[in-house]
Amino acid sequence: MISFIAVSGFSFAADTSQTTINGYTYTAAQIQDATNRVNAFQETNNRLPNYVTISGQKISINDFLPYMEATNSNNNEGTGNTGTTGTSGTTGTSGTTGTSGTTGTSGTTGTSGTTGTTGTVINGVTYTNAQIQDAVTRINAFKATNNRLPSYVTISGNKIAINDFLPYMEVNNTGNNSGSSTQTGTSGTSNQTGTSTSFTISQIISAASNVKIFQETNNRLPNFVTISNTQFTMSQFLQLLTDSLLQINAGSTGSVTLKNVTSPSNQDETVTSGSLTKSEIISLAQQIKNTINSTGTAPASISTSLGTMNFQNLVYSFSKIMVFYGTNSRIPNTVTVKSLSTVNIITDGTAQSIVDAIGYAEAKFADIQGQSDPNVMEQVGYGDCWADSYWLYNKLSAASIAVRIIGCSNSSGLYYLHRWVEINIGNGWQTWNYQKYSSQHFGALGSGYFVVKSSV
């Protein structure tokens, strides 16, 4: 997971210069005031705001940062901020994750073929898993050098705002684990992980926590996991999860060896909501272990007392189990499961009344820039378009209304980071009717629309 490091406060000497941003001219004092507000927001929320307002003009954080950072490097000699020039986020060279066909060294993984062929779509453009990983590596390198995140990252010539890229960053557990994994096996080949690489239980628990969060945030598994600079597939991670659980159940907490495991084909599931007992959890783990050992492939699905669970649900459920163990130092007595393949969506006559009730409840929230947390918005009564969109998404999806958050990908301008929602109650995807409910927020703006998150 990425952690944000607050940039130290900026100060200005008396300055009569002016700065032009997006066609509007501002004084040094106005830039100073905006910078102070950005710093205060970041220190409170551990992230940058989506935009900053100066003289009634909303400026996306990506448009503002170059001027904020330029002033910082010019006026803060001796404060530790000098040298943080450059906001493109392209610092670092590509290819740091290995290339197809290159012989892997002890315990490392060739990237070609290990992350699957499914691309990731960001702002309407599809990128390969290798491109995403390369961008992650460059972001981490930039942050290590400058003690902050870059304003954006460039992939294949496309500049992506850091706030748009962060949701797609895969699980990356390289922090605080140096020297704790062993990589003493013979050299591996491209697309193959060294078979003598092993990880501690604590490392696996940490990775499980990130996988759990990623699944719950994105409604899918990450494409890969990285621990101590070793990248491996979700099929291999399921092997680590089940092997470590069986080992713990047998009374051992030693390191677990990573194996070469082929990914299964997609499989639907028929599991119904309910709980699996501890004895069944251990039995399922043993079945998965037996399948991997006998076939070299992770199971596409497995039968349980609640029905058939598919691969995605197995990884998610065993990640939850390991997280529980990490917190409580014991295997849970039960684990709750539900289908990840199907969502019960209401499209009958009751849907509109549900939508209306949520719509009128949302109308009370003021549209104020810089507060992007939907939970905080519910408490304080205001938030920006991000807070409002996620509040609507959470309420509507919980009520079984098909909903999705939409963004716009125009490369510059006032609406670059704008978010709103669409719903589908049987008549196709429609923009949320903000005007009907006298909402203080806004619907579709800008251009180049793309889906940020969808409940279906």
DSSP string, 186-249: PP--TT---TTEEE-HHHHHHHHHHHHHHHHHHSS--SEEEETTEEEEHHHHHHHHHHHHHHHH
Give 142's pLDDT tier (boundaries 50, 70, 90). Answer: confident
Q: Are 258 and 188 in contact (CB under 8 A)?
A: no
Output the pLDDT for position 37: 82
Name the least confident of 84-98, 107-121, 163-177. Answer: 84-98
With bands split at pLDDT 50, 70 and 90, how would you rate the model's confidence at 125? confident
- pLDDT for 331: 96
- For residue 67, name the pLDDT band (cuts at 50, 70, 90): low
The percent of residues above 70 in pLDDT, for the chain, comes to: 70
Residue 115 pLDDT greater than 80, yes or no: no
Q: What average pLDDT does range 145-150 have in this prediction?
A: 68
**Among 53-67, 171-185, 251-265, where is mean pLDDT lowest?**
171-185
Q: How confident is the model at residue 210 (pLDDT cuts 50, 70, 90)?
A: confident
Take residue 51 and report the two structure tokens written for it.
């935009």
Please name the helix (run of DSSP H) or strand (run of DSSP E) that holds residue 41, with its range, or none.
helix 28-45
Whole-number average pLDDT of the chain: 75
Stated as kind and residue range, the H or E segment containing 143 is helix 129-146
What pLDDT shows up at residue 19? 78
The vertex-216 CA angle with 212 and 219, nearest 5°, equals 115
Quick one: pLDDT at residue 327? 92
Q: Look up residue 443 and give its two tokens.
A: 């619907």
Give the predicted TM-score (pTM) of the model. Answer: 0.44
Which position has the higher pLDDT, 32 or 279? 279
HEC sequence for 295-356: HCECCCEEEECCEEEEHHHHHHHHHHHHHHHHHHCCCCCEEEECCCCCCCCCCCCHHHHHHH
Contacts of 256 by beta carbon, 8 Å cutoff, 6+ apart? 198, 199, 201, 204, 240, 243, 244, 247
Burial degree of 398 (CB within 10 A; 0-12, 13-18, 19+): exposed
